[in-house]
């Protein structure tokens, strides 16, 4: 499997000038933990996550975003994506085509691909044994991410970013 087969195509992006409070509300509203930062020319200029909101100080996205963006091409194999995530301790990778973001692959996308491949294998479809390696490459933080993303919008759990956004 490759990036374009598992990536999310409906990408939520943010601008560098977006206030941190609005960023936090955007992440909460869309139930995502991070987003690519895109400049006026449509090129990716950074990436920002919940951790950036919590760990860094600043009034806008530009002040807290990570400027070092690790990205992949549409034809990047899922095993390579999992290795990049594990090695760099990141949860999402933008998928780039001709300097434009065309999708994003998260750890959850990889886990979904693995589950889907296993289900198809049980049903008698061809099996990609390379997918078997991906869970071990993701490491323990993937389990935490998957648990957090399974909390739906009607969950009684309070999101800590709400308090953080109110205080900015």
Assess whether pLDDT exceeds 60 at residue 165.
no
In this predicted structure, what is the pLDDT of residue 142?
45
Tokens of 21: 């409070």
Query: How many CA atoms are closer than 13 Å to the CA of 71, on its beta-carbon side?
Result: 26
pLDDT in tens, 20-58: 999 999 999 999 999 999 998 889 999 999 999 999 999
Cα torsion 31, 33, 38, 43 to 10°: value is -110
**Mean pLDDT of all residues in the chain?**
81
Span 47-57, pLDDT tens digits: 999 999 999 99
Cα separation, 15 vs 59, in Å, equals 13
Render pLDDT for 96-152 as a digit per residue (tens, 0 to 9): 998 889 999 999 999 998 888 777 666 555 545 555 555 555 554 443 443 343 334
100 vs 153: CA distance, rounded Å: 31
Q: Is the pLDDT of residue 153 over 50?
A: no
Domain range summary for the chain, segments of one domain joined by +: 3-150
Instruction: Note the pTM of the prediction, 2 decimals.
Output: 0.71
Q: What is the DSSP-derived secondary structure letter of residue 97?
A: E
Provide the pLDDT for residue 117. Answer: 77
- Average confidence (pLDDT) over 6-19: 96
Confidence of residue 10 (pLDDT cuts 50, 70, 90): very high
pLDDT of residue 107: 92
Chosen CATH of 3-150 out of 3.10.580.10, 3.40.640.10, 3.30.1240.10, 3.10.20.30: 3.10.580.10
Q: What is the DSSP code (8-state) at residue 1?
A: -
């Amino acid at each position: 499997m490759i990036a374009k087969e598992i990536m999310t195509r409906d990408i939520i992006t943010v601008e560098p000038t977006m206030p941190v409070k609005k960023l936090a509300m955007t992440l909460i509203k869309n139930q995502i933990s991070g987003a690519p930062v895109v400049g006026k020319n449509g090129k990716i200029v950074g990436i920002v996550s919940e951790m950036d909101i919590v760990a860094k100080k600043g009034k806008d996205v530009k002040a807290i975003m990570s400027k070092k963006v690790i990205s992949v091409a549409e034809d990047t194999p899922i095993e390579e994506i999992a290795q990049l995530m594990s090695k760099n301790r990141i949860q999402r990778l933008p998928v780039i085509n001709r300097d434009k973001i065309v999708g994003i692959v998260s750890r959850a996308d990889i886990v979904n691909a693995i589950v889907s491949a296993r289900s198809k294998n049980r049903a008698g479809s061809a099996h990609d044994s390379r997918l078997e390696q991906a869970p071990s490459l993701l490491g323990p933080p993937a389990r935490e991410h998957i648990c957090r993303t399974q909390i739906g919008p009607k969950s009684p759990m309070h999101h800590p970013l709400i308090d953080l956004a109110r205080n900015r």
